[in-house]
């Protein structure tokens, strides 16, 4: 499963890229607005931080013609950019147009397998299935992910299922169990994937034992 960072903060992307396990980045209009910086400059810097990674950048128009114009503009900025399109009638129509032109798309705000089916049929590269927002209102966000992965696989669609709106590390575990292709998460949750109390306690004990024995890795140079 690919791991994406969900952020508009270039510093977070730089830090996560150094770990060597980052496959891409998703942004959305709220995250870009929160960054306090320009859209194009932010997305381009993110592309530089993750060479070869898929970087999703979302359009904001709702009218079809305006959406197409924005999509082509965003697409022209960098080859790594995946145009993020909302799940609406115009969004699905646009996804079909972009897919026919070889432009990669990420259909966002998908909450049901029916919506995912429309995105897959339109040729979406990624289908962003939001889980946390469903859990927030007492639903089971992972249910649509399970059904979408099954639908994509049993009907042989090329789309990859991207689990979005991740709120905690268990959402990542559940994404793996569902067979999702990608999980995108905030920086803080990405960091939490590293941690286990037994890893931390284990490392402390190893180092304490080593130091107590006065051992060294590098032999002292002879004079």
Q: Which residues bind ligand E4P (CB under 6 A)?
A: 6, 26, 28, 108, 128, 130, 132-133, 164-165, 184
Report in angstroms how near the CB of residue 165 gets to ligand E4P at its nearest.
3
Closest approach of ligand E4P to the CB of residue 208, in Å: 40
φ and ψ at 114, to 5 degrees? Answer: -65, -45
87 CB-side CA count, 13 A: 20
Q: How far apart are CA 67 and CA 45, in angstroms?
A: 23
CB of 128 to ligand E4P, least distance (A): 5
Considering the complex, state which of residue 110 and residue 122 has its C-beta at the smaller distance from ligand E4P. 110
**Least distance (Å) between residue 162 CB and ligand E4P:** 7
Q: Which one, 35 or 108, has the nearer CB to ligand E4P?
A: 108
Of the candidates 105, 95, 169, 174, the one whose C-alpha atom is nearest the C-alpha of residue 141 is 174
Closest to ligand E4P by CB, 6 vs 12, is 6
Candidates 69, 84, 204, 222; catalytic one: 84
Is 121 assigned a catalytic role?
no
Cα dist from 11 to 15, 17, 19, 32, 154, whole Å: 6, 10, 13, 13, 40
Based on the number of CB atoms within 10 Å of its own CB, is 12 exposed (0-12), middle (13-18) or buried (19 or more)?
buried
Rank residues 75 and 216 by Cβ distance to ligand E4P and give the closer one. 75
CB 16 within 8 Å of CB 186: no
Active site residue ranges = 84
């Amino acid at each position: 499963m690919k791991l994406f960072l969900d952020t508009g903060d270039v510093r977070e992307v730089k830090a996560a890229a150094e770990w060597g396990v980052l496959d891409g980045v998703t942004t959305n209009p709220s995250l870009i607005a929160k960054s306090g910086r320009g859209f194009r400059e932010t997305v381009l810097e993110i592309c530089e931080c993750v060479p070869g990674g898929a970087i999703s950048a979302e359009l904001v128009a709702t009218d079809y013609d305006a959406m197409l114009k924005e999509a082509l503009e965003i697409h022209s900025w960098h080859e790594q950019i995946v145009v993020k399109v909302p799940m609406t009638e115009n969004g699905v129509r646009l996804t079909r147009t972009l897919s026919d032109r070889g432009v990669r798309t990420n259909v966002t705000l998908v909450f049901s397998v029916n919506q995912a089916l429309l995105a897959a049929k339109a040729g979406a590269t990624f289908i962003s299935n939001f889980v946390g927002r469903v859990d927030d209102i007492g639903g089971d966000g992972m249910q649509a992910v399970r059904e979408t992965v099954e639908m994509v696989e049993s009907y042989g669609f090329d789309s990859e299922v991207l689990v979005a709106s991740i709120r905690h590390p268990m959402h990542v575990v559940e994404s793996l169990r569902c067979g999702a292709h990608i999980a995108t998460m905030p920086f803080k949750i990405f960091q939490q994937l590293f941690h286990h109390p037994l890893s931390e306690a284990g490392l402390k004990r190893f180092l304490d034992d080593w130091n107590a024995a006065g051992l060294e890795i590098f032999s002292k140079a002879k004079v």
